[in-house]
Amino acid sequence: MAVKKLAVLFSGGGSNLEAILQKLHGKTFGETKIEVVLTLSNKADAGGIAKAAKFGLQSVILNHKDFASREEFDAALVREIEKSGAELTVLAGFMRILTPVFTSRVRAINLHPSLLPLFKGAHAIEQSFESDMKVGGVSVHWVSEELDGGAIIAQRAFEKSAGMSFEAYETKIHEIEHELLPQVVVEILCQS
């Protein structure tokens, strides 16, 4: 049985981290067992830290404000990921723009709450909700030097219902994220 190691980076509440831990951590898919070996946040007060602790994982805290440059922060990130032995890194609400110091050395995927290439950046949910588009959705893509610009691996869309509130729209986005991201991780790790 092959054991595939996963790192998860997050900045906030950690709902996608929790979905990964619930659905994948310590679970077997065919001949592959998936272990989350690193949970890391750039914020000491991120809600995901407590969620990881419920699964016996102590998160590494790397505050980006403690570093003189993005490149120094990214080098520290790379060291932690390499030390963990993770074969794949998942950016699950990790709100940092990464430099080539990271993107050239780490095999990573990112979850984004819009149908890329539309609505890149930190305000994607609000922008897609306020747009004239009749659908919303979620993308999972490879991390590259370009913000939200790497090759798209998977997307899932849903129809915006008439009169849908922003809260309902955001809830639907998160429901799809919690399904799609773990599925993509399994597909990648079980093929490689």
- Is 77 marked within a binding site? no
Q: Which residues contact 72 (CB under 8 A, 6 or more apart)?
A: none
Q: What is the dihedral of CA 111, 116, 122, 128, to 10 degrees?
A: -120
- Is 70 marked within a binding site? yes
Nearest to 86 by CA among 42, 27, 28, 38: 38
Active site residues: 112
- Is 95 marked within a binding site? yes
- Is 14 marked within a binding site? yes
The residues pairing with 141 across neighbouring beta strands, listed in sequence order, are 110, 152
Query: Torsion-angle region of residue 68: left (phi > 0), alpha (psi -120 to 50) or beta?
Result: alpha
- Is 137 marked within a binding site? no
- Is 107 marked within a binding site? no
Half-sphere exposure of 35 (CA within 13 A, CB side): 11
- Is 1 marked within a binding site? no
Which residues are documented as binding site for (6R)-10-formyltetrahydrofolate? 70, 95-98, 110
Which residues are documented as binding site? 14-16, 70, 95-98, 110
